[in-house]
Chain A
Amino acid sequence: MIHSLFLINHSGDIFLEKHWKSVISRSVCDYFFEVKEKAVDPENVPPVLQTPHHYLISIYRGKLFFLSVVQTEVPPLFVIEFLHRVADTFQDYFGECSEGVIKDNLVTVYELLEEMLDNGFPLATESNVLKEMIRPPNILRSVVNTLTGGSNVGDTLPTGQLSNVPWRRAGVKYTNNEAYFDVVEEIDAILDKSGTTVFAEIQGVVEACVRLTGMPDLTLSFMNPRLLDDMSFHPCVRFKRWESERVLSFIPPDGNFTLMTYHVSSQNLVAIPVYVKQNINFFETGSCGRLDITIGPKQNMGKTVEGLMVTIHMPKVVLSANLTATQGNYTYDLTTKVLVWDIGKLNPQKLPNLRGSLSMQAGAPKPEENPSLNIDLKIQQLAISGLKVSRLDMYGEKYKPFKGVKYLTKAGKFQVRT
Chain B
Amino acid sequence: MSASSAFNDEKGGSSSVGEPEYGHDPASGGIFSSDYKRHDDLKEMLDSNKDSLKLEAMKRIVAMIARGKNASDLFPAVVKNVACKNIEVKKLVYVYLVRYAEEQQDLALLSISTFQRGLKDPNQLIRASALRVLSSIRVTIIVPIMMLAIKEAASDMSPYVRKTAAHAIPKLYSLDPEQKDQLIEVIEKLLADKTTLVAGSVVMAFEEVCPERIDLIHKNYRKLCNLLIDVEEWGQVVIINMLTRYARTQFLNPNINESLLEEGGGGEKTFYGSDEDEDEDEEEKEKKAEVAAMAKRKPYVMDPDHRLLLRNTKPLLQSRNAAVVMAVAQLYFHLAPKAEVGVIAKALVRLLRSHSEVQYVVLQNVATMTIKRRGMFEPYLKSFYIRSTDPTQIKVLKLEVLTNLANETNISTILREFQTYIKSMDKDFVAATIQAIGRCATNIGEVRDTCLNGLVQLLSNRDELVVAESVVVIKKLLQMQPEKHSDIIKHMAKLTDNIQVPMARASILWLIGEYCEHVPKIAPDVLRKMAKSFTNEEDIVKLQIINLAAKLYLTNSKQTKLLTQYVLNLAKYDQNYDIRDRARFIRQLIVPTEKSGALSKYAKKLFLALKPAPVLESPFKDRDHFQLGSLSHLLNAKAGGYQELPDWPEAAPDPSVRNVEVPEWTKCSSREKRKEKKVEKPFYSDSEGESGPTESADSESDSASGSESGSGSEESGSGSESEESEEGSESEEEEEEEEEKDKKKKKKELKKPVPETESEQSSEEEDRKIKRKSKQRKSDSESESDEDEESESESSQSESEDSESEIEVKKKKKTAEMKPPSKPVKKETKKEKKEMSLLDLDDFEPAPSPQVTPVNTFLSNSLVTDLEGLSLSDSVLSPATIAPSSVLKNYELLHRITGEGLSVEYCFSRQPFSPDANMVAVQMQFTNSATSDTKNLHMEDVKLQSGMRVKEFPEIELLSAGETAMAVMGIDFCDSTQAANFQLCTHTRKFFVSIQPPVGELMRPIFLTENEFKKEQGQLMGMNEITEKLTLDAKCRNEHAIVQRVTTAANLSRVPCGSDKECRFAGRTVTSSSLVLVTVATKEEGAAQLTVNCEKMVIGTMLVKDILLALTQ
Known: A14-B68, A146-B17, A245-B947. A119 touches B171 (CB 8 A): yes
Known: A75-B327, A241-B686. A153 touches B322 (CB 8 A): no
Do residues A230 and B361 form an inter-chain contact, with CB atoms below 8 A?
A: no
**A173 lies within 8 A of chain B by Cβ:** no
Q: Which residues of A contact B392 (CB under 8 A)?
A: 41, 44
Q: Which listed residue, A70, A118, A415, touches B388 by the CB 8 Å rule?
A: A415
**B750 lies within 8 A of chain A by Cβ:** no
**B189-204 vs A, Cβ < 8 Å mask (1 yes, 0 no):** 0000000010001001
Do residues A41 and B391 form an inter-chain contact, with CB atoms below 8 A?
A: yes
Residue of A nearest to B346 (CB): A230
Which label, helix, strand, loop or mixed, suits the secondary structure of the A interface?
A: mixed
B395, chain A: closest CB distance, angstroms:
10
Known: A107-B63, A215-B1023. A235 touches B233 (CB 8 A): yes
Q: Which residues of B contact A16 (CB under 8 A)?
A: 66-67
Q: Which listed residue, B320, B462, B634, touches A48 by the CB 8 Å rule?
A: B634
Do residues B387 and A153 form an inter-chain contact, with CB atoms below 8 A?
A: no
**A16–B232 CA distance with the chains assembled, in angstroms:** 28
Q: Which residues of A contact B318 (CB under 8 A)?
A: 231-233, 239
- The stretch of A108-116, A296-304, A353-361 that contacts the partner chain: A108-116
Do residues B361 and A153 form an inter-chain contact, with CB atoms below 8 A?
A: no
Residue of A nearest to B201 (CB): A121
Do residues A146 and B15 form an inter-chain contact, with CB atoms below 8 A?
A: yes
Q: Can you list 8 contacts pairing A with B, beta carbon distance less than 8 Å?
A: A47-B361, A48-B635, A77-B322, A80-B357, A107-B63, A151-B86, A151-B87, A368-B423
Give the number of A-B contacts (CB < 8 Å).
Answer: 272
Do residues A75 and B237 form an inter-chain contact, with CB atoms below 8 A?
A: yes
Do residues A119 and B327 form an inter-chain contact, with CB atoms below 8 A?
A: no
Do residues B95 and A114 form an inter-chain contact, with CB atoms below 8 A?
A: yes
**8 A Cβ contacts from A123-168 to B:** 123, 125, 142, 145-146, 149-153, 155, 157-159, 161-162, 164-166
Tally of contact residues, A, Cβ under 8 A = 114
**A179-216 vs B, Cβ < 8 Å mask (1 yes, 0 no):** 00000000010101000001101010000000000010
**A258 lies within 8 A of chain B by Cβ:** yes
**B240-260 vs A, Cβ < 8 Å mask (1 yes, 0 no):** 010000000000000000000
**B270 lies within 8 A of chain A by Cβ:** no
**A392–B170 CA distance with the chains assembled, in angstroms:** 46
**A5-46 vs B, Cβ < 8 Å mask (1 yes, 0 no):** 000000000111111011100100000000000000101101
**A406 lies within 8 A of chain B by Cβ:** no
Q: Which listed residue, A48, A161, A230, A251, touches B350 by the CB 8 Å rule?
A: A230
Known: A151-B88, A258-B320. A157 touches B420 (CB 8 A): no
**A345 lies within 8 A of chain B by Cβ:** no
Q: Which listed residue, A84, A152, A261, touches B355 by the CB 8 Å rule?
A: A84
Do residues B462 and A75 form an inter-chain contact, with CB atoms below 8 A?
A: no
Residue of B nearest to A144 (CB): B16
**A274–B698 CA distance with the chains assembled, in angstroms:** 54
Do residues A240 and B66 form an inter-chain contact, with CB atoms below 8 A?
A: no
Residue of B nearest to A45 (CB): B393
**A263 lies within 8 A of chain B by Cβ:** yes
**A207–B669 CA distance with the chains assembled, in angstroms:** 40
Known: A203-B353, A417-B420. A46 touches B393 (CB 8 A): yes
Do residues B12 and A369 form an inter-chain contact, with CB atoms below 8 A?
A: no
Q: Which residues of B contact A395 (CB under 8 A)?
A: 1096-1098
Do residues A73 and B631 form an inter-chain contact, with CB atoms below 8 A?
A: yes
A26, chain B: closest CB distance, angstroms:
6
Residue of A nearest to B1098 (CB): A395
Q: Which residues of B contact A107 (CB under 8 A)?
A: 12-13, 59, 62-63, 66, 92
Q: Which residues of B contact A199 (CB under 8 A)?
A: 382-383, 385
Known: A233-B318, A313-B388. A72 touches B425 (CB 8 A): no
Do residues B170 and A119 form an inter-chain contact, with CB atoms below 8 A?
A: yes
Q: Which residues of A contact B639 (CB under 8 A)?
A: 55, 72-73
Do residues B12 and A103 form an inter-chain contact, with CB atoms below 8 A?
A: yes
**A307 lies within 8 A of chain B by Cβ:** no
B242, chain A: closest CB distance, angstroms:
12
**A122–B229 CA distance with the chains assembled, in angstroms:** 17
Q: Which residues of B contact A261 (CB under 8 A)?
A: 320, 350
Q: Which listed residue, A50, A153, A162, A239, touches B637 by the CB 8 Å rule?
A: A50
**8 A Cβ contacts from B333-379 to A:** 346-347, 349-350, 353, 355-358, 360-362
Known: A103-B12, A190-B387, A261-B320. A48 touches B361 (CB 8 A): yes
Do residues A78 and B323 form an inter-chain contact, with CB atoms below 8 A?
A: yes
Do residues A111 and B683 form an inter-chain contact, with CB atoms below 8 A?
A: no
**A263–B392 CA distance with the chains assembled, in angstroms:** 26
B388, chain A: closest CB distance, angstroms:
5
Q: Which residues of B contact A142 (CB under 8 A)?
A: 15-16
Q: Which residues of B contact A286 (CB under 8 A)?
A: none
Q: Which listed residue, B66, B86, B159, touches A110 by the CB 8 Å rule?
A: B66
Known: A164-B683, A263-B350. A44 touches B63 (CB 8 A): no
A109, A164, A190, A390: most-surrounded residue (chain B CB, <10 A): A164
**A76 lies within 8 A of chain B by Cβ:** yes
Do residues A153 and B91 form an inter-chain contact, with CB atoms below 8 A?
A: yes
Residue of A nearest to B683 (CB): A164
Do residues B389 and A71 form an inter-chain contact, with CB atoms below 8 A?
A: no
**A259-293 vs B, Cβ < 8 Å mask (1 yes, 0 no):** 00101000000000000000000000000000000
**A104–B68 CA distance with the chains assembled, in angstroms:** 16
**A261–B389 CA distance with the chains assembled, in angstroms:** 23
Known: A16-B67, A75-B326, A118-B167. A155 touches B62 (CB 8 A): no
**A63 lies within 8 A of chain B by Cβ:** no
Q: Which listed residue, B15, B425, B630, touches A73 by the CB 8 Å rule?
A: B630
Tally of contact residues, B, Cβ under 8 A = 114
Do residues B160 and A162 form an inter-chain contact, with CB atoms below 8 A?
A: yes
**B150-177 vs A, Cβ < 8 Å mask (1 yes, 0 no):** 0000000011100010011011001000
- The stretch of B120-128, B868-876, B986-994 that contacts the partner chain: B120-128
Q: Which residues of A contact B1023 (CB under 8 A)?
A: 215, 396
**A233–B389 CA distance with the chains assembled, in angstroms:** 28
A15, A19, A72, A149: most-surrounded residue (chain B CB, <10 A): A149
Q: Which residues of A contact B325 (CB under 8 A)?
A: 232
**B643 lies within 8 A of chain A by Cβ:** yes
Known: A17-B66, A239-B315. A76 touches B201 (CB 8 A): no
Q: Which residues of B contact A192 (CB under 8 A)?
A: 420
**A278–B416 CA distance with the chains assembled, in angstroms:** 21
**A327 lies within 8 A of chain B by Cβ:** no
Do residues B385 and A198 form an inter-chain contact, with CB atoms below 8 A?
A: yes
A367, chain B: closest CB distance, angstroms:
7
**B960 lies within 8 A of chain A by Cβ:** no
A23, A48, A78, A367: most-surrounded residue (chain B CB, <10 A): A78
**8 A Cβ contacts from B9-67 to A:** 12-13, 15-18, 50-52, 55, 59, 62-63, 65-67
Do residues A59 and B946 form an inter-chain contact, with CB atoms below 8 A?
A: no
**8 A Cβ contacts from A234-259 to B:** 234-235, 238-241, 243, 245, 247, 249, 251, 258
Do residues B946 and A221 form an inter-chain contact, with CB atoms below 8 A?
A: yes
**B597 lies within 8 A of chain A by Cβ:** no
**B640 lies within 8 A of chain A by Cβ:** yes
Q: Which residues of A contact B323 (CB under 8 A)?
A: 75, 77-78, 80-82
Q: Which residues of A contact B171 (CB under 8 A)?
A: 119
**A388 lies within 8 A of chain B by Cβ:** no
**B457 lies within 8 A of chain A by Cβ:** no
Do residues A72 and B234 form an inter-chain contact, with CB atoms below 8 A?
A: no
Do residues A74 and B1098 form an inter-chain contact, with CB atoms below 8 A?
A: no
Q: Which residues of B contact A76 (CB under 8 A)?
A: 361, 629-631, 634
Do residues B91 and A80 form an inter-chain contact, with CB atoms below 8 A?
A: no
Q: Which listed residue, B136, B385, B389, B631, touches A70 by the CB 8 Å rule?
A: B631
Q: Which residues of B contact A123 (CB under 8 A)?
A: 167
Q: Which listed residue, B16, B91, B326, touches A77 by the CB 8 Å rule?
A: B326
Do residues B946 and A157 form an inter-chain contact, with CB atoms below 8 A?
A: no
Do residues B630 and A111 form an inter-chain contact, with CB atoms below 8 A?
A: no
Residue of B nearest to A104 (CB): B12
**A16–B62 CA distance with the chains assembled, in angstroms:** 11
